[in-house]
C-alpha cells in the first residue's frame, strides 16, 4: 500500500499519514480521475530528475520508487508502473526475441500487465490476445488449464507470475505447450522463492499467507521449476540479469535480484539447454 504525506521539502513523500488509495475509493466517480492525476503528479515530482532510466516507457527519474511488502528500493517506475521483472522482461523481448519486430504473429498474453498491454498491442496488432480468468478488461476470459484455442495456434505465449496461483500448474504448462506452434516459444515466469518446489494442500488464506507469502498462492517454486516445464514438452533456456547486462547498465535500469530469472521455453531450439546456477 502506498501513502503520501505533505512535507516542506518536496511537497509529498511516502508515509503513513494519508492513505490515498483508501480515500479515492470512497469518493464519487467524477472526482476519482482528477484525484488520481494529482496523486500521480505529486509522486512524479518527488522523483523528478535523472539517474535511472526505464526501458519500458523510455523515461528517466531520479530513482525508482519503493514497492512491495516488505518494501523494495529501486522497484517501481513512477511513470509507467513497471517493476524490476517487467523491465527485465521487456529488455529480453527486445534483445533476445523477435516479438517486437512488427511481423504478423499470434501472441497470447495471460494476465496482462498494465505497463505492457498497450505497447504490445501497438507492436503486434490484431494477433495480440489478452486473457485472464475473470478480469473484465481482458479480451478473453479463460482458465489457463483449459485454453480455448486449437493446437499449434500461437507463435508466442507470455504468462508471468500466474502459475503460483494455479492448482494444477502442470496441466496449465501442457496447455501452453499444446497451443504453441512447433517453432513457437513461451515465457512462463514464476517467483523462485524456495530451494525446492513445495505445495502442501493449504486452503485457509491466512495460512497460505504464512506459508507461501501471499493469500492466493498455492505453492512456492524452486529451481526445479525447469523440470516441470520439460515434463510439459518444453526445451528451456535460463537467463539472469548478469548474463545480458553489465553492473552499470543493471543499476541504471533498476535490474536487481528481484528480477529473478527468465525461463525461455521452446519446442524446438538450436541453442543448448542449461539450468539455473
Residue-wise pLDDT tens digits, 190-219: 999 999 999 999 999 999 999 999 999 999
In a domain, 231, yes or no: yes
Mapped onto helix, strand or coil, the DSSP state of residue 257 is helix
In a domain, 48, yes or no: yes
**Rounded CA gap, 223 and 165, in Å?**
17
**Residue 127: CATH number of its domain:** 3.40.50.150
What b/e sequence results for 213-252 when a residue is b if at least 16 CB atoms lie within 10 Å of its CB, and e otherwise? eeeebbbbbbbebbebbeebebbbbbbbbeebbeeeebeb
Identify the domain boundary among 76, 99, 125.
Answer: 76
Per-residue pLDDT tens over the stretch 214-260:
999 999 999 999 999 999 999 999 999 999 999 999 999 999 999 99
Going 3 to 258 to 78 to 81, the CA torsion angle's sign is: negative
Q: Is pLDDT at 5 greater than 50 in this prediction?
A: no
Q: Among candidates 143, 98, 93, 136, which has minimal Cα distance to 115?
A: 93
In a domain, 206, yes or no: yes
Identify the domain boundary among 76, 109, 135.
Answer: 76
Q: Three-state SS across 121-178?
A: HHHHHHHEEEEECCCCCCCEECCCCCCCCCCCCEEEEEEECCHHHCCCHHHHHHHHHH
The pLDDT value recorded for residue 23 is 54
Domain enclosing residue 59, as ranges: 5-76
196 and 176 inside one domain: yes
In a domain, 271, yes or no: no
Domains contained in the chain, number = 2
CB neighbour list of residue 29: distance below 8 Å, 6 or more residues apart: none
In a domain, 36, yes or no: yes
CA 40 from chain centre, in angstroms, equals 21
28 and 96 inside one domain: no
Of residues 59 and 20, which shows the higher confidence score?
Answer: 59
120 and 253 inside one domain: yes
**Rounded CA gap, 165 and 82, in Å?**
21
In a domain, 51, yes or no: yes
Predicted model pTM: 0.80
112 and 224 inside one domain: yes
Cell of 13: 513523500
Q: Among candidates 243, 242, 244, which has minimal Cα distance to 256?
A: 242
168 and 253 inside one domain: yes
66 and 90 inside one domain: no
Span between the terminal Cα atoms of the chain, in Å: 34
Q: Among candidates 26, 18, 72, which has minimal Cα distance to 42?
A: 18
CA 18 from chain centre, in angstroms, equals 28
Task: State mean pLDDT over 21-34.
Answer: 63
Computed over every residue of the chain, the mean pLDDT equals: 86
159 and 227 inside one domain: yes
Per-residue pLDDT tens over the stretch 30-77:
666 676 666 666 666 677 778 899 999 999 999 999 998 888 988 999
Cell of 46: 518527488
The pLDDT value recorded for residue 17 is 38
In a domain, 274, yes or no: no
Q: Is pLDDT at 9 greater than 50 in this prediction?
A: no
Identify the domain boundary among 76, 98, 122.
Answer: 76
Q: Where does the pLDDT of residue 28 fall: very low under 50, low under 70, confident under 90, or very high at 90 and above?
A: confident
108 and 60 inside one domain: no
In a domain, 273, yes or no: no
CB neighbour list of residue 232: distance below 8 Å, 6 or more residues apart: 170, 173, 174, 176, 177
110 and 180 inside one domain: yes
**Rounded CA gap, 129 and 141, in Å?**
11
The pLDDT value recorded for residue 8 is 30
200 and 235 inside one domain: yes
Per-residue pLDDT tens over the stretch 100-131:
999 999 999 999 999 999 999 999 999 999 99
The DSSP code for 64 is P
Q: Is pLDDT at 6 greater than 90 in this prediction?
A: no
90 and 69 inside one domain: no
Q: Among candidates 191, 268, 187, 202, which has minimal Cα distance to 235?
A: 268
154 and 192 inside one domain: yes
Amino acid at each position: 500500500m502506498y501513502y503520501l504525506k505533505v512535507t516542506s521539502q518536496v511537497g509529498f513523500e511516502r508515509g503513513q499519514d494519508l492513505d490515498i488509495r483508501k480515500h479515492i475509493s470512497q469518493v464519487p466517480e467524477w472526482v476519482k480521475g482528477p484525484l488520481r492525476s494529482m496523486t500521480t503528479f505529486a509522486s512524479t515530482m518527488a522523483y523528478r530528475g535523472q539517474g535511472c532510466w526505464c526501458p519500458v516507457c523510455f523515461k528517466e527519474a531520479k530513482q525508482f520508487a519503493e514497492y512491495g511488502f516488505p518494501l523494495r528500493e529501486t522497484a517501481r517506475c513512477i511513470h509507467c508502473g513497471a517493476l524490476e521483472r517487467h523491465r527485465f522482461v521487456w529488455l529480453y523481448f527486445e534483445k533476445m526475441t523477435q516479438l517486437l519486430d512488427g511481423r504478423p504473429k499470434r501472441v497470447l498474453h495471460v494476465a496482462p500487465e498494465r505497463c505492457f498491454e498497450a505497447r504490445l498491442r501497438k507492436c503486434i496488432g490484431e494477433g495480440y490476445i489478452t486473457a485472464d480468468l475473470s478480469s473484465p478488461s481482458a479480451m478473453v476470459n479463460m482458465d489457463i488449464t483449459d485454453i480455448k484455442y486449437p493446437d499449434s495456434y500461437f507463435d508466442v505465449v507470455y504468462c508471468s507470475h500466474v502459475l503460483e496461483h494455479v492448482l494444477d500448474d502442470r496441466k496449465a504448462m501442457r496447455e501452453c505447450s499444446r497451443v504453441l506452434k512447433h517453432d513457437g516459444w513461451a515465457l512462463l515466469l514464476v517467483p523462485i522463492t524456495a530451494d525446492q518446489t513445495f505445495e502442501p494442500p493449504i486452503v485457509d488464506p491466512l495460512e497460505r499467507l504464512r506459508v507461501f507469502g501471499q493469500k492466493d498462492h498455492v505453492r512456492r517454486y524452486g529451481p526445479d521449476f525447469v523440470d516441470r516445464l520439460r515434463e510439459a514438452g518444453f526445451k528451456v533456456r535460463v537467463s539472469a540479469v548478469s548474463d545480458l547486462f553489465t553492473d552499470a547498465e543493471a543499476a541504471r535500469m533498476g535490474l536487481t535480484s528481484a528480477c529473478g530469472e527468465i525461463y525461455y521455453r521452446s519446442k524446438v531450439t538450436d541453442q543448448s539447454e542449461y539450468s539455473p546456477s
